[in-house]
Each structure stands twice: as C-alpha cells, then as structure tokens.
Structure 1
Amino acid sequence: MTQTRVFPRRFVLRAAAGTAAATMMANSGSAVASLAGQQWQLTREPGGARHLKVGWDEWAVPTVSAKDEFDVTYGVGYVQARTNAREILDIYGRARGGAAALWGPDYLAEDEFTIQLGLHTKTDLWTRAQKPKTLARVRAFCEGFNAACSENAELGGDRREILPVTPRDIIAHLLRASTRFTTLDSQGLAFPPDQFTNTVGSNGWAVSGGRSTTGHAMLVINPHLVWRGYQRFFEMRTRHPGRDFHGVTLLGLPWQQMGYSPAVGWGHTVNPVPNMSVYDLNLSGNRYLYNGRQRRLKVTEHRVEVRGAEPVTVVERHSVHGPVVTAPDGTDVAVRIAGVLHHPATSALESWWRLSFATSVQELFKVHDGAPLPLFNMIAADALGSIGALYCGTPPVRAHGDFDDSKRRLPGDDPKWLWRRVHQASRMPRVINPESGWVQNCNETPWLYTDPPLPAEDWPSAIAPSVDQVDDFRPIASRRWLKAQKKISPEQLLGLKFSKRALLADVVLDELLAAATGETDLEDAVQVLTAWDRRANQDSEGYVLFYLWSMQNLSGIGDKTLFRCAAEPGGLPTGLADPAAAVATLRDAKAILLGTGAPLDASVGQVVSLGDGPDAIPGDGGSGLVGVLKAFEIMPTADGFKKVLGDTWVSLVQFRPVGETTAESVLVYGNATEPGAPPSKSQYAVWASDRLRT
C-alpha cells in the first residue's frame, strides 16, 4: 500500500512554457530517490498554482494525482524519467531512425527498418492526425520527462543526446511499436522470422458475475512480451477528477494501454488480424509489372551516418502496393499494412485514453468502434457483472481469396489482389455476456472466445483463421479447464493462469517413450522423461529436455502434422503420426541440451535465474507451445540458456459495485531500470511463487 505520510519538503518544478527546462528548487534527486513509500508534492509552473502528488509504494509503483489530465500526464512523464530514462531515450532514439549515428553499427538495422518502411513520413502523418487535446496531453508528458532529466543530469546516462523529447518522439514510438507488432512474420515472407514470433502474445480471461463464486465479474490481464525495449511495461495509477485508472503502459507512452478503473477493466492479447499483405514483384532493376504495364518504383536514397564506421546508403523504395523490402530469401517484395501504414488507425493513443473513462463493457466496445486500435484482442469485465471479448483492428477488405492469403506472397502484377479499403471496426467479431459465463483468449482465433464458438459466417470473411488453425496448446488448456467448471472462484481463476502443466506431454509423451525404449543412446533420456512430472515448475527435472524436443517439432505442432488427428477443430490432438521421426528429434534435443553444458534432467530453475547477484532465484514457468499458461520462454545458447520473454504484468481484478473494486497484480521484472530510481522490492519472488502483490 502507498504510505500517505507527506514528504516535508516541496519540490517546485519550473517548466517554462514551450521548453523542456526545469530546475530543482529543493533537495537533490538522490534524496528524493530514497523515499519509496512516501509522497512527493510537486508544483508545476507557470504560476505555481498547479499541484501534483506522486506516491510511491514499496514496489516503486507510483500513484500520480492532480487536478486535471495535463498535470497528470506531466507527472507520468516525470516518474517514467525517474525510473526508466535511459531505456526510454533508447526507444525514442530508435524510433527517430538515426540511432546508428549516435550509438554505432549495432543500431543500423533499426534505422534501415525505419527508412525502408517510410516511417519518417508516416510519423508526420500520424502526428498531424492527433486531436489537439491528445497532443496537449502528450506535450505535458514530454515536459514532465524533460523536467526530470533537467534537474538530474545522471538520468538517461549515455542516451541523453536524445533530449529534449518532443511529442513527435512519442508518436514515432507508437507507430514503430505498432509496425513491429504487425510485421511479426513467422514464415519470413518479408521480414526475418523468429522462432518465438507466435509466442509474443498474451492470455486473458473474464468470468461473469453469474459464473463467479463472488457473484461479481472477474478479470485476469496477462500480457506476455519481451522483457526489454519497446515491449517493456511500466505500471502506475493515475488520478484526476473524473478518472481513476490503474494499469500498464509500454515504456515511453503517456498513459495506460490496459488496466482497470472502479467501473471497468480490460486486457489485450495480440490477435491474428491479417493486416499485412506481401506481394511478389519480380523486379527488373527498378521496374515492375502491374496490370499489364511496366511501372517504376519510387526510389529515394538516404545517407545514414554510423558512429565509428563509414556512412551507409539505405534505399527507400515504394511500389503501388507499398514499401519494398528484401525478404530473408533475397526476394524483393512489397508490403501493404492496414491500420498502420495504409488506412492507419491514428486514433489508437486517444482511444486508450477514452477507454479509461468507460463505465461498462458495452461502452468500451463503442469507444473502440469510434476510435479503433490497429490490432489486439480486448478481454473485458465491469462492475455491473458483464464480460466481453472484442477483435480489435480494421483489416483489409479482400475481394478475393481467404485468410490464408495473408500467409503467402500474392501476385504483385494482378490488381485484383491489391486491396484499397479496410473493414470498419464496428464489424469486427465480439461477444458480450455469453451463455457460458466466460470469455478467454490465448492469441488464437476470435471464434474461440467462448463456448460454443462464435459462428465465423456471421462476420466478414478472411479476417481471422479458422478454428482448426490453433497452433499452440494454451487455448486448448484454457478452454478445457473453463468448460469443466460449474462456478469459478478468484483463487481457481488465478490457479488457471499459473498452470504449469505441459498439456502436450499428455498427448505425445507415452508414445514417444514407447518408441524410444530400446534405443541404447536414448536410455538416459527415456529415464529422465519417464520420471518428469510433466510440469514446468522450477524444480521439474526433465522439462527442459521435453521443451527442446517440442522446439524441434515446432512446425509439426503448428500445422498438426506431428499428430495422428484432432478430436475436433480447436480440440486436443491425439498421438504421434510418426513415432520414429519423433525419436529422431528426441536425439537432436538431447544433443542440444548437453551442448549447452546443462544436465540431461535439467529443470528450468537450473538453467535460468531471475534477478541478479545474491538476490537471484531459480526460473519458473514454461512455454505456451507445450500448453503451459505461466509463460516463461527460454532458448539455448552456446554457453547455456537465456530468457526470451514471458509473463509481464499479471492482474486479477475483482469487480464490485462502483467504488469497491479490488485488484492484485505483479509486474514480473519490476518497474525501474534507472540507477537512482526510487528503491523497490523485487517482484520476481512473488511471481515465482505463483502469487500477486497484496
């Protein structure tokens, strides 16, 4: 809980109009930083009449209170700088597209991405599209951030060249993050694939008042993202008359993207909305064929300075379809990205602000329909007992083909494949108060939000995968559990979220062991997996071997060729289609594991730790690929294993009549990265023990 004792000295922050200057008028920043659990009283000038309060709890989660929205967002900028200035300045530097000139060749790929997709021009478009009041709030955030950095010359470290930050930096960051999420490309059609592409996602659950043992709605918010960079979250509560909201924002954005008020709450999961289309151009020099005629690419050369190296020329190319990039296989392709680069959802930032004022699930969805987000699912609940799920975005209107066309290269010469319109947000799939009394999503198709599934034929075609294209075991584990419950308590719902059972093992392990028995070189592996408890607890010996075997069968799990059959679309598969091939990949997994120097019976807690130094604790949780809902993704390296991504913010919200809503949360990696930030207790141990902060 935040302590209410007021720090006895007042800090007056002088922010001259239109500038980023600020001067500390009382104690030093280091004195302030020692005051976790206290309140800071700030006066924002000009005039000295606008007061803010910042209260810090023992986890360095701030509550920013003020008289209006502009002072609140000023305070948000201030506290983000005090806790994460260097991380945020690094993010802004990448978003500007000139990071290599400041920080060297390691940043050149980021600059190339920005230039080749034309993000400089699109940032200008997005900035011009913001409402005046949106920009005023963003400007106040920048003033607060710059003020904190001005008063403390240590903040930001070796990234202070970026200062002062401006509203354009925030919009550029939002656009870049949206573009990065939208261009996740597991098949390498246009961008380098990543084996964890399909794991960047999240879980979300909502239970209605009628299905809950409390008689009130419950919500679990559970995004899984990378624990650093533009995907890292910051937790805060912000309050001014008419708005009281607790949640998380991506570092460097000025208000929350998910969370809860006393009346309503929502979480996001990454959805499979097919915003990106990839076109094969068959280039001849800078010419391509379209609709029976030769056309020229629009080509612009950019000279990119690189610190410590020679300048590099980066070529920006555009066809009638969109930006042209060179795919990993060397093919030149064009990309067209709905909601981001084409028919952009420039309302996203304002939408998140307006969502926080909603008083019901129905109102949340209405806000989105008027100010859409470019992607994500929304899982929501409210104090009236209602729940709902919404497929956010404005995907392309495709005159031809189906959803699978978003997973292949389209003929760039045929105009029938070039979409020119997007669907209205109001036409996207949704469900409110289903008969089942629950909604859920683990990044799969929206048709499986609840049970029975939503009828896909009731919604526009080609906007989502079919129910038989579920490509990991999380949604199967989630839906099986929910369907088996008559009533659901808060403790049971949290237990589902922290489930570490590897459902894939229940499907394949017995047959894998039977097929591997008798293979002399696999006797030890068979012994390890026979003794394994089929979980991903920190001490579950054998999990890492099974996980590596699963990674060797990644494509077979995704397209279901690993299995004999599935009982029903979206249901649980049965058995191994080719036991001999499965044994061969077990042999590969054993070699990979031993090659890292880890023992064959390694648990996740043996190969990866959470935290540093004497406070480090064993890792816990596992991969969604195998059906573990407590997300913790690792990967082998030449000298061991490294953390990749996993649970970030977990929040269990128990709604009550307005004013009595309660919540418990944990931000796994903590709220601060900056040296000299307000001290805080580590949250790793809370999460590792399957608990939330109380």
Structure 2
Amino acid sequence: MKQFLAILLSTLLGVLLIFNVPVMSKNSTEILWDSWGVPHIYGKDNNSLFKAFGWAQTKSHGNLILKLYGQARGKGAEYWGINYLESDQYVRTMGIPKRAKQWYQEQSPEMQQYLDSFAQGINEYITQHPQEIDEALKVVLPITGTDILAHFQRVIHFHFLTNPQSVKSLKTIASEAGSNGWVIAPEKSLNNHTLLLANPHLPWSDFFLWYEAQLTAPGLNLYGATLVGMPVLAIAFNDNLGWTVTVNPIDGADIYKLKLQEENYVWDGKLQPLEQETERLKIRQKNGSYTELEFGVKKSIHGVIINQQKDYGYALRVTGLDRPHSLEQLWRIGNAKNLEEFEAGLKQLQLPLFNFLYGDKQGKILYVFNGLVPIRSQGNWQDWQGIIPGDTSKFLWTDYHSYQDLPRLANPATGWLQNTNDPPWTSTYPPILNPKDFPEYLTPASLGDAPNILRSQRSIQLLSESEKLSLDEVIEKKFSSELVMADRILDILISTTKALANPIGIEAAEVLKKWDRQTNADSRGAVLFTLWASTLEAKGIFSKPWNPENPLETPSGLADVNTAVAVIEGIAAQVKLLYGSLDVSWGEVVRMRVGEKDLPASGGPGMFGSFRVLNLQATKDEKFQVVFGDSFIMAVEFSDPIQAKVLMVYGNATQPNSSHIGDQLSLYSEGKMRPVFRDRNEIEQHLELKELVN
C-alpha cells in the first residue's frame, strides 16, 4: 500500500510539472491571481509577503512603478529627457532623495527588511520577465528600500499635503484629492452588523492609481488597496475590523515671507545666514548625450526657500518630515485585532494627514481627524491660509498636537459616521463634536467652509433618510448621482427662463423640466445643467449663503437671474450645435475611456452634489472624459463570515496587453460591484494564474 501511494504521488507530481502547475510547500510563497487581476498572496512569513507584493505590483504596473521611482529620485530628466526637468527640480528642492536615505536609516530593522523585500520582489520580477518592461525604464534598476520611502514622501508630503501649485503660485490652492467614507453601527444596520464604505476620489492616472490585493501570512488576512508603488495597504479589512481614509482639511504646509539681506534673513531682529547647497541635474538629450543644470537650494529655520523676489524670500514648512514611520504605522493597524490595537497604531502619529473611519465585528465604530497639527501661537484657520510673517519666532511652529488633542468620535448614538472631506463637526448628525472645544486653527469652523459642501450634505441626507441599512442598500446609495444643486435651484431656473428667455432658452427649460436631476448615462438635461452651472460657478450661483441655522438646506436660491438666463441661452445654442439636440443623454457626451474601453459615464462632479463622483475634462472630439473621481470602492459587512464587495473602476493593471485595463468599467457603468474572493476555495474557482515566489 505504501509503495502504491508513493508511485501515485510521484505520478501526480510529474503531471503537475508537465502542465507547469506550481506545487505549494511550507517553504513557498504563493500568489493566486483571480479573474479580475487581483493578487491573493499567501506568504510563508512577512518578508516573503512583502517580496511577493512587490512582485505582484510589478506584474500589474511595472512600467508605471519604475517611472514613479525614477521621478522620486529626482532623476527623471537624466533617464528620459527634459519633460521631467520641472518634476526633478521640485523633488530635489524639497530634499526628497536625501531625506529618504535618512528615513531608511531610521526604520526599525524589521521594517528595513520589509522595504528591502518589497524592492527585491520588483527587481526579481523584472529579471525573470524582462520582455514585459519597457527598455527605457530599466535604467532605474535596481530598486532599493530607499526608493520606496522617496516615493512615499513625494506622493504624501509633497502632493497630497503640499499642493505643488500652491508652491508655484504662492497661493493656497485646495488639493483635488477627495473621498467618501461611511461606517455604520449594528443598530443602524438591517442585519445588526457593522457596515463600512470606502470610496476614495483621485485622478485616474500616475501615482494616484489604486492597487487591490489580499495579503495573507501567519496571523494576517488583510484585503484592500493601496496607491501604486506603496508596500502596505492603506484602505483594508481583516478578519476582525476594517477602515477607510479620506483627505481631511488640515494645514500641514505653511509659506513664510522672509526679509532678506544678501545671503541672510532677518530673524527676531538679527541676521541669520541662509543654509545653501548646490543641486546638479543631468538632462538626457535626444541623441543620448547629457547636459547639466546646477541650481542652488537655500534654507532658513522655517524650511526650504521656494521663491525669491528681490529683498524677500518665501520658505515652505511641511509637517511630518521628522516622522519617518508612516508605512510601519499602516502595517501595524492592518495587523490590529480590535479597536484598542488599532488606536494604538494611530497614536504613533506618523501620517501627516487623513481622516480614519473604522468599524469592527464587535460593533464598534470610530472617526478620527488624524494628522500632524502644528501647535500654533495664535490665529484661526483663515489666518494661516495666507503668507505668514517669517521674521519673528512668534509664528514659527515647532511641535504637534498629541493624539488626545485631535477630534475623535466613537460609537455615537446616531449609529453612523461619515466624512466627505468636510470638517469633523459633521462626522455625524445632529453634530456631537463641537469646534469650540478645539483650537480655531485646527480646521475650518463649519460645514459652510467644506470644499464640497453639497456632496457632504448629500452624504448626510443619504445616511439619515433610512432607519436601517443593508449592504446592498449602502451600495445603491453609493451610486446615487442626484445633484443637490439641481434640487436647490432648478425650479427657479426653469420658471425664470420660461418668463425671460428667447425660444431656445424656453426649449432648454422644457428639457430641464423633464430631467431626472441625475447624471446617469441616460439622463437627458444633465449636459445642459452642468455646463450652465460650470459657467456660473466661479461667479457664484447661490443667492443665499450657507446658514448655520439651516445647515443642510443652504446655500440656496439663484443669485443673478438675468445672467443665469443669458448663460442658459448661450449653453443651449452651443449644445444644439455640437450634439444636434438639447436633450442629448449624459452618457453620449461624457465618456469613460481607459485603454481600448470607451463607455458612457454615470456620475457627476462632486461640487454639484453628486455622491457618485466623476470629474471631467474636455476632449478633442467635443466630448468630455472622466479624469478623476470614483476609483477603488469597497463595501464590507462584518458578519460571520464577512461579506464584501469591491470595484477597481479603471481595472487593476496598466501594463501593456493586460486584459485588466478597464475591465471593470462596464460594472461601474451599470452601478454594480464585484464580490470579494477571499476564501481560498472561492479564489481557486475564479483562478487566472498561480505563481510561486521563493
């Protein structure tokens, strides 16, 4: 019998080898790729897990990752030419490559190993699959753990936290990054389970792309997504809990105006010398030769000098450059098993921004306005949005508020928490957190100052209108594209236009009257309204500003009826000329284009109050293309077993010839999400490929 079993096993192994089926052993790390291009990684230990995650990301986004890491070194122009020069100057001026080396040295030995393992996975994948990577990008190899930290800094500290456009213009320009996030307690849930909705809104390109994965190792089963090139998940759930993040209105970057005298600056009545160093950049020419550019970088006690005008200089001070452990913090919360362990991770205060919304199997929910908030000597939020006097220590911040100082709300009686990039005061409704209990400079004082007030009001409305919610109902509400702005002013616009307009204006009013006030692919009238609103928006549409006495119904009213009517007439003429009809459908004009896919869009700009957020850009064919908005969507019910649905709107890959470029657009177009394959048996039923990463 033993001999028979031995022969059978030998035969089976032979068959597996003939058909190139990986044989799993205790000493192997395995990646199961499902039919949507999602890697499910089974690591024999944490180092192997990180290595396999680097391998997987390279298989899906290898060209993009190499380009991003090359830029994070400040060597894009050296590698690929002058088009990258501006990016390189920004990266070098901000000191990212040098600081990344310092950060690497400050990592724990364990975290250094994880970063090195992630980099090793990238390098080994390219070594074994060289034909899949563009030759021009291989100049970046080999990738190191330092590159990962440089990439993190560039993305988080110098794009999310510090808007490069603000640095360039010396004006406060709000970040485009946004998100919706919900967490619902069992008492508000139809099945008495905690519910979580994660819904970040980011550009559909570059380092803003999300990557979906499952990370499994001894003691860990984590599912979620991270930004491409990052080695840990940023939005995720495990067997016990889950969380999402949203961009919070936090002031983590200030510009100081300095009085200069030659190579000195005035500081508390005395002259202090500027620190100076020289950066050298190589610029690759079309013939393969190089030119060199030298430029000086100057620093004051505040930070790097970003602009100099005669006798004045402008210095940038950014939070968190002295906190090198953000990736370790995210890894720690991913390994948490309960609220206490999760908050222990948050209390490390390494990440310089992001709200956290948390829920778990025990029925606990939490909102935290997380981030590094400078302890300021005086002033309110608005005072710190402009240029700050830099000649006195009175305005120089040197430390941050503790975790205990930050707005935090757990298990509110309302049964739900939300954030749509609004200040913390509307994290639930009626409000519980009070701005008077916190420093005036911490964040805007009211919902009226929210960057997307109408979307925030829509979020609160969607959560408040239902007594109890199921997972499917949460998903249905997530795909709501009704425009709050239309609810506020459409009736006035229609009646005024009918009374004052010429024939084409009256025809437009009839189309708007029949419109469903949504931006679904088949909505007719949405094109007219959004073009009209976009034209008027800069001038101010509403006659009644936001009112704290009526916080969810204001702003409202139409500010200038004569201008409104004149604009609708002009827009109507333009729409008729371009599209042949005033009631052209939204999806005919607004397209989702990813790779070879070109589908009608459903969803609209968040600034008009759509909860299903898609921001648009005009195209050469006189249409509009989605360039920003809904990206990774995750809805989780903490039942037993956990139920979850996800969607990576633009697909989970960018590598040429991948079948997963844009393969989920059709689901998004239909308002649908995919079930999560998390159990191994279920994954194997939807298997596309198995790989062993040793």
Shift of 1:190: 2.8
The answer as to 2:49 corresponding to 1:67 is no
Question: Following TM superposition, by how much is the alpha carbon of 1:105 offset from its aligned partner in structure 2, in angstroms?
Answer: 1.8
User: 1:596 touches 1:636 (CA, 8 Å); kept in 2?
Assistant: no
Using a 3 Å threshold, how does the CA distance of structure 1 residues 383 and 199 change in structure 2: closer, same or farther? same
The equivalent position to 1:360 in structure 2, one of 338, 349, 372, is 338
Counterpart of 2:644 (choices 663, 666, 681) is 663
Residues 234, 194 of structure 1: CA spacing in aligned structure 2 closer, same or farther, 3 A cutoff? farther
| Distance in 1 between residues matched to 2:226 and 2:469, nearest whole Å | 29
Structure 1 residues 534 and 284: alpha-carbon distance in aligned structure 2, compared to 1, 3 A threshold: farther
Give the distance between the partners of 1:232 and 1:182, measured in 2 at CA. 13
The structure 2 residue matched to 1:179, chosen from 157, 169, 175, is 157
1:254 and 1:201 mapped to 2: Cα distance?
22
Shift of 1:411: 1.6
The answer for the alignment partner of 2:204 in structure 1 is 227
Q: Distance in 2 between matches of 1:194 and 1:536?
A: 33
Cα deviation, residue 325, structure 1? 1.4
Q: Is the 8 A contact 1:184 1:197 kept in 2?
A: no
Kindly indicate whether residue 679 of structure 2 is the aligned counterpart of residue 692 of structure 1. no
Deviates more, 1:122-131 or 1:294-303: 294-303
> After superposition, what is the alpha-carbon deviation per residue over 1:529-565, rounded to whole angstroms, capped at 9, x for unaligned?
33322111012223233223333344566xx865355
Task: Judge which range, 464-473 or 498-507, deviates more.
Answer: 464-473
RMSD (Å) for aligned C-alpha atoms: 3.1
Give the structure 1 partner of residue 561 of structure 2.
579
What's 1:470 paired with?
450
**Contact 2:349–2:372 (8 Å) recurs in 1:** no
Q: Give me the whole-angstrom Cα distance separating, in 2, the residues matched to 1:637 and 1:159.
A: 29
C-alpha distance in 2, partners of 1:552/1:506? 18
Q: Could you report, residue by residue, the CA deviation over 1:441-483 in whole angstroms, capped at 9, with x for unpaired residues?
A: 0011011111232112333442111113123211101112222
Contact residue 469 and residue 570 of structure 1 kept, 8 A: no
- 1:414-437 per-residue CA deviation (whole Å, 9 max, x = no partner) reads 321111111123321111110000
TM-score (norm 2): 0.87
1:152 aligns with 2:135: no
**Does residue 192 of structure 2 align to residue 209 of structure 1?**
no
Q: 1:582 to 1:299 in 2, by over 3 A?
A: farther
- Aligned partners of 1:400 and 1:206: how far apart in 2? 35
1:285-296 → structure 2 map (5 Å cutoff): 286-296=263-273
Question: Residue 181 of structure 1: CA displacement?
Answer: 3.6
* Distance apart, 1:9 and its partner CA: 8.6
User: Which residue of structure 1 aligns with residue 679 of structure 2?
Assistant: none
AA at the equivalent of 1:236: A
Q: What is aligned with 1:533?
A: 516
The one-letter amino acid paired with 1:666 is: L
Aligned to 1:20: none
The structure 2 residue matched to 1:112, chosen from 78, 89, 93, is 89
**Rounded Cα–Cα distance in structure 2 between residues aligned with 1:338 and 1:680:** 36
Give the letter aligned to residue 591 of structure 2: S
State the match for 1:15 in structure 2.
Answer: none
* Counterparts in 2 of 1:598 and 1:438: CA distance versus 1, 3 Å: farther
Residues 642 and 681 (structure 1), Cα distance of their counterparts in 2 relative to 1, 3 Å cut: closer
Structure 2 counterpart of 1:247, from 218, 224, 230:
224
* Alignment partners' CA distance in 2, 1:242 and 1:92: 31
- Find the residue that maps to 2:617 and give its secondary structure: strand
2:214 alignment counterpart: 237
Structure 1 window deviating more from structure 2 (59-68 vs 516-525): it is 516-525
Amino acid at match of 1:79: A
Match of 1:549 in 2: 532
SS of alignment partner, residue 123 of structure 1: helix
Residue 115 of structure 1, CA deviation: 1.7
CA distance, structure 1, for counterparts of residue 563 and residue 23 of structure 2: 66
Alignment of 1:453-464 (within 5 A): 453=431, 454-464=433-443
Match of 2:492 in 1: 511
The AA in structure 1 aligned to 2:451 is: D
Work out the CA distance in 1 between the residues paired with 2:512 and 2:388: 44
Aligned with 1:534: secondary structure?
coil
Aligned to 1:23: none
Note if 1:318 corresponds to 2:318.
no
Match status 1:143 vs 2:120: yes
Map 1:307-386 → 2, pairs under 5 A: 307-308=284-285, 310-326=291-307, 332-339=313-320, 341=321, 344-386=322-364
Shift in Å at residue 319 of structure 1? Answer: 2.0
1:303 to partner: Cα distance: 2.8
Question: Are 1:182 and 1:276, in contact at CA under 8 Å, matched by a contact in 2?
Answer: no
Question: Aligned-pair distance for 1:311?
Answer: 3.5
2:395 alignment partner, one of 392, 417, 420 = 417
Q: Which residue of 1 aligns with 2:365?
A: 387
Per-residue deviation at 1:273? 1.2
1:630 maps to which of 612, 633, 637: 612
**Unaligned 5+ runs, structure 2:** 1-11, 676-694
Map 1:44-83 onto structure 2 (within 5 A). Answer: 50-83=27-60
Q: Which runs of 5+ in 1 are unaligned?
A: 1-7, 11-25, 33-38, 44-48
TM-score (normalizing by structure 1): 0.87
1:222-252 Cα offsets, whole Å, 9 max, x none, are 1111111111111000111100000101111
Q: Partners in 1 of 2:163 and 2:130 — Cα distance?
A: 40
How far is the alpha carbon of 1:370 from its aligned partner?
A: 2.4
Percent identity over paired residues: 29
Q: Say yes or no: does 1:654 pair with 2:654.
A: no
Deviations 1:356-383, CA, capped at 9 Å, x for gaps: 1112234322210125321101111101
- 1:504 alignment partner AA: M
Q: What is the CA–CA distance in structure 2 between the aligned matches of 1:505 and 1:604, rounded to whole Å?
A: 15
Structure 2 Cα separation of the partners of residues 589 and 311 of structure 1: 50
Q: Say whether 1:403 aligns with 2:385.
A: no
Between the aligned partners of 2:580 and 2:47, the Cα distance in structure 1 is: 53
| Range moving further from structure 2, 682-691 or 603-612 | 603-612
Mapped contact 2:189–2:469 kept (Cα < 8 A): yes
| 1:439 equivalent in alignment to 2:412 | no
Structure 1 letter corresponding to 2:489: V
Is this contact kept in 1: 2:481–2:520, CA < 8 A?
A: yes
CA change 1:511–1:680 in 2 (3 A) is closer
Task: Report how far residue 440 of structure 1 moved.
Answer: 0.4
Give distance in 2, aligned partners of 1:244 and 1:123.
Answer: 30
Change (3 A) 1:607 1:561: closer
Given that residues 171 and 386 in structure 2 are in contact (C-alpha distance below 8 angstroms), is that contact kept between their aligned partners in structure 1? no
- Give the Cα–Cα distance (whole angstroms) in 1 for the partners of residues 437 and 353 of structure 2: 20
Contact residue 298 and residue 305 of structure 2 kept, 8 A: yes
CA positional deviation for 1:405: 2.4
Query: Does the 8 Å contact 1:511/1:575 carry over to 2?
Result: yes
CA contact (8 A) 2:163 2:173 kept: no
**Structure-2 residue corresponding to 1:274:** 251
Letter of the aligned partner of 2:167 in structure 1? A
User: Is the Cα–Cα contact under 8 Å of residues 565 and 575 in structure 1 kept in the other structure?
Assistant: no
Distance 1:655 1:556, change over 3 A: farther
Task: Indicate how the Cα distance of structure 1 residues 393 and 417 shifts in structure 2: closer, same or farther if over 3 A, else same.
Answer: same
1:302 is paired with a residue whose SS is: strand
**Aligned-residue offset at 1:679:** 5.9
Deviation per CA, 1:167-208: give whole Å up to 9, x if none: 01100011111123444549x653359999554210000110
SS in 2 for 1:305: strand
> Contact 1:392/1:428 (CA < 8 Å) preserved in 2?
yes
Per the TM alignment, residue 494 of structure 1 is displaced from its structure 2 partner at its CA by 1.4
User: Which of 235-244 and 316-325 deviates more?
Assistant: 316-325
